[in-house]
């Protein structure tokens, strides 16, 4: 399966059994300059999708993937 947004809805589980042990010790700090919710009319796909090339046909597909 290709790691693209359109395939998010097809993911049923993520197997982490083969993750390198050192990755379990990684601390991730995230900075964000937006306050949009993940889903909905002000959500990530609707607001930022068109900036990344999503169109009216792909936005619902991406939104469904994020909802899952």
Determine the pLDDT at residue 8. Answer: 86
CA dist., res. 33 & res. 19, Å (int): 30
pLDDT, tens only, 46-61: 999 999 999 999 999 9
| Total number of domains in the chain | 1
pTM (two decimals): 0.67
* pLDDT tens, per residue, the chain with 68 residues: 788 888 888 888 889 999 999 998 999 999 988 899 999 999 999 999 999 999 999 999 999 998 98
∠ Cα 19 66 57 (to 5°): 130
Determine the pLDDT at residue 4. Answer: 83
- As a 3-state breakdown, the chain gives helix, strand, coil percent values, each rounded to 5, of 45, 0, 55
**In which domain, by residue range, is 31 found?**
5-67
């Amino acid at each position: 399966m290709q790691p693209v947004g359109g395939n998010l809805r097809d993911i049923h589980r993520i197997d982490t059994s083969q993750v390198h042990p050192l990755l379990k010790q990684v601390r991730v700090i995230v900075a964000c300059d937006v306050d949009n919710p993940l889903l909905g009319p002000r959500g990530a796909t609707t607001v930022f999708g068109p900036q990344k090339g999503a169109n009216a046909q792909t936005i619902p597909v991406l939104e469904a993937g994020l909802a899952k």
